[in-house]
Amino acid sequence: MRNAATLMTTPAWLNCAVFYQIYPQSFYDSNGDGIGDLAGIETKLDYLTELGINALWINPCFESPFKDAGYDVTDHCRVAPRYGTNESMKVLIDAAHARDIRICLDLVAGHTSDQHPWFLASQRDEANEFSDRYIWTRNPWVTRDEQMNFISGNADRAGSYAVNFFAHQPALNYGYGEPARSYQQGVDAAGPRATCAALMAVMKFWLDLGVDGFRVDMAASLVKRDPAAVAIRELWREIRVWLDANYDERVLIAEWGNPERAIDAGFHADFMLHVGVPGYDHLVLGPTTFPKRAALPYFDSRGAGDFERFWRAFDFQHRRVAGRGLISLATGSHDFSRARHGRSDDDLKVLYTFLFTWPQLPVLYYGDEIGMYYLEGLPSKEGGYERTGSRTPMQWDDSVLGGFSTSASATPYLPLDPAAERPTVAAQRADRASLWHHVERLIYLRVTETDLSADSPLEILSEATNGYPLVYRRGAALVVAVNPSEATHTVSLPPMGDAAPVLEQRCHLSHRAGRWQLRVGPRGYGVYTVR
Ligand code: BGC
């Protein structure tokens, strides 16, 4: 099976998918214990349908001591009791499929919790089946080697183990691309092969239950000392070949941060977020966000951002993956401050107009549809640290606890936004001019206009890519303009046929003497059909 050639195609559904990322502990608490759960997600499926969502990615919901909010798994094949049971997952999958919503789970492939039975066995001094499931040196002292931390002192085994992220997340052993030390095993050694087989068994378990794919956590991290990422790509290609041979229409979405490599490795899509090659950074992050970036982003009302920085990175990657896989730029995630930070509803409308009309796989982070705030300074919860402020309970309505829980007396997983005027789904649904309705319109456009599908062509129409506004054509018949700045700009456009507005806010397209002119006011945007 290794190295088998395959025709890797993208399932058609992915090109018109609009994902919604659910942080399960904070979405909807159906049993009143203060923590969101799978039955809560099922209760809200009609809400997601109304918004137009057709795919979900759920953050890890497996058994865990929750020292990294579930990215520290102790049983990959069991739903954590606080979220429900495997049966509740099956019920959720079937209920989602009945509404044509796909479900992807989070696959934590690179490490486990240090409480995982594999690791407990691996820590034992006597050799056993799991001795090589993790990377162990023969040096029993805490150390750092080849940019990795090695921890010791918790077990009888005379050695130290490599960690992938936090100290309690030992790195699984998929081997080294170019082993150079005696403790480093090659990717074809028995231990690494057994780890790979164990990972595929986990995937098989959930695929057989009906999931539509996985978002793979830290996908590039599996093989160590692999400078040109040759061995890691081979490993994922093997998995992709197996996936295609056994399951139809399932997808693998990488947290790799290098679409060119991830797609070459067999992933259907990869994120350009806060890790790896920068993409989202140049659009959204800046001096007051977490993580912090020195320069102002393009989507900033001061109008001092430079789209060219994003464009160079995106265009490079986009050309290399075109026709083979997709780039994804989410509205936000559980790992950095929300896009709302430092932005008004009008600012977000411009940003979202861009994100939902750009040639990429859109992912809406829960609560971003109403512009939930990043709550700075919250005490860390479950290893969240600065990320905690983007993980607060969903704000459904004005009732106690924002409608997050069925019990008014529950202590929620995290405090709710204390602002009296905090945004809620109920208030925004009742207001046709709200951010929520704007997102709903954008999603509707995104899934109904074939010109907006992720793989449909892009042509920049603005003369330069470093200024405001940005104007581009999608497919044959759609023109989009966005002006995140608070200044008014007027630009001339190349000759086009008749144009009709689909969405317009402080934006005006006019035609005089054979010339097209676009005037975009502060935080203006427009989507036009041209024939
Ligand atoms: C996840 C984080 C997590 C880390 C370690 C990531 O990239 O998105 O939330 O802490 O992997 O698993």
Q: What percent of the chain has pLDDT over 70?
A: 99
The predicted structure's pLDDT at residue 514:
77
Residue 158 φ/ψ region, left for φ over 0, alpha for ψ in the -120 to 50 degree band, beta for the rest: beta
For residue 261, which phi and psi values (nearest 5 degrees)? -75, -45
218 lines ligand 1 (CB under 6 A): yes
- The yes-or-no verdict on residue 6 having pLDDT over 70 is no
Euclidean distance between CA atoms 340 and 363, whole angstroms? 15
Mutate to test the pocket of ligand 1, among 218, 334, 390 (most ligand atoms within 8 A of CB): 218
- The yes-or-no verdict on residue 2 having pLDDT over 50 is no
- The yes-or-no verdict on residue 4 having pLDDT over 80 is no
The predicted structure's pLDDT at residue 515:
86
- Tell me the DSSP string of 364-380: EETTGGGTPPP-TTPPP
Give 245's contacts (C-beta < 8 A, 6+ positions apart). 6
The rounded Å distance from CA 261 to ligand 1 centre is: 20
Q: Which two tokens stand for residue 272?
A: 């350009």
Euclidean distance between CA atoms 516 and 514, whole angstroms? 7
Q: Which atom of ligand 1 is nearest to the CA of 71?
A: 12
Average pLDDT of span 296-321 = 97
The predicted structure's pLDDT at residue 502:
97
Are 369 and 352 a contacting pair, CB within 8 Å?
A: no
The rounded Å distance from CA 60 to ligand 1 centre is: 10
Mutate to test the pocket of ligand 1, among 21, 26, 59, 68 (most ligand atoms within 8 A of CB): 68
The rounded Å distance from CA 218 to ligand 1 centre is: 7
382 lines ligand 1 (CB under 6 A): no
Instruction: Encode pLDDT of 320-362 as tens digits.
Output: 999 999 999 999 999 999 999 999 999 999 999 999 999 999 9
Instruction: Encode pLDDT of 130-173 as tens digits.
Output: 999 999 999 999 999 999 999 999 999 999 999 999 999 999 99
Q: Which segments of 20-110 does DSSP mark as H helices, in order?
A: 38-43, 45-51, 86-98
pLDDT mean across residues, the chain? 96
The predicted structure's pLDDT at residue 3:
40
The rounded Å distance from CA 217 to ligand 1 centre is: 6
The CB-based long-range contact list for 201-209 (8 Å cut-off, 24+ gap) reads 202/76, 202/77, 202/107, 203/107, 203/239, 203/243, 204/246, 205/76, 205/77, 206/77, 206/105, 207/243, 207/246, 207/247, 207/250, 209/86, 209/89, 209/90, 209/93
Instruction: Encode pLDDT of 172-211 as tens digits.
Output: 999 999 999 999 999 999 999 999 999 999 999 999 999 9
Identify the helix (H) or strand (E) that includes residue 356. helix 345-357
Instruction: Encode pLDDT of 252-280 as tens digits.
Output: 999 999 999 999 999 999 999 988 999 99
Instruction: Encode pLDDT of 416-457 as tens digits.
Output: 999 999 999 999 999 999 999 999 999 999 999 999 999 999
DSSP, collapsed to helix, strand or coil, labels residue 38 as helix
Confidence of residue 1 (pLDDT cuts 50, 70, 90): very low
- The yes-or-no verdict on residue 30 having pLDDT over 90 is yes
Q: Which two tokens stand for residue 226?
A: 């692999």
255 lines ligand 1 (CB under 6 A): yes
For residue 528, which phi and psi values (nearest 5 degrees)? -130, 145
Are 388 and 414 a contacting pair, CB within 8 Å?
A: yes
Report which protein residue has its CA nearest ligand 1's atom 9. 335
Mutate to test the pocket of ligand 1, among 22, 58, 61, 165 (most ligand atoms within 8 A of CB): 165
Q: Which two tokens stand for residue 110?
A: 């690179």
Q: Which two tokens stand for residue 387?
A: 């990320």
106 lines ligand 1 (CB under 6 A): no
Q: What percent of the chain has pLDDT over 90?
A: 94
Peptide linkage before 484 cis (omega within 30 of 0): no
Q: Which residues pair with 365 in a beta bridge?
A: 21
The predicted structure's pLDDT at residue 512:
84
Instruction: Encode pLDDT of 94-121 as tens digits.
Output: 999 999 999 999 999 999 999 999 999 9
Average pLDDT of span 64-82 = 98
The predicted structure's pLDDT at residue 274:
86
Instruction: Encode pLDDT of 472-498 as tens digits.
Output: 999 999 999 999 999 999 999 988 888
Confidence of residue 7 (pLDDT cuts 50, 70, 90): low
Q: Could you give the angle at which helices 190-209 and 230-246 cross, rounded to 10 degrees? A: 40
Please classify residue 145 by burial: count the beta carbons closer than 10 Å to its beta carbon, then call 0-12 exposed, 13-18 middle and 19+ buried. middle
Terminal-to-terminal C-alpha distance of the chain:
49
- The yes-or-no verdict on residue 5 having pLDDT over 90 is no
The predicted structure's pLDDT at residue 466:
76
DSSP, collapsed to helix, strand or coil, labels residue 199 as helix
The rounded Å distance from CA 71 to ligand 1 centre is: 6
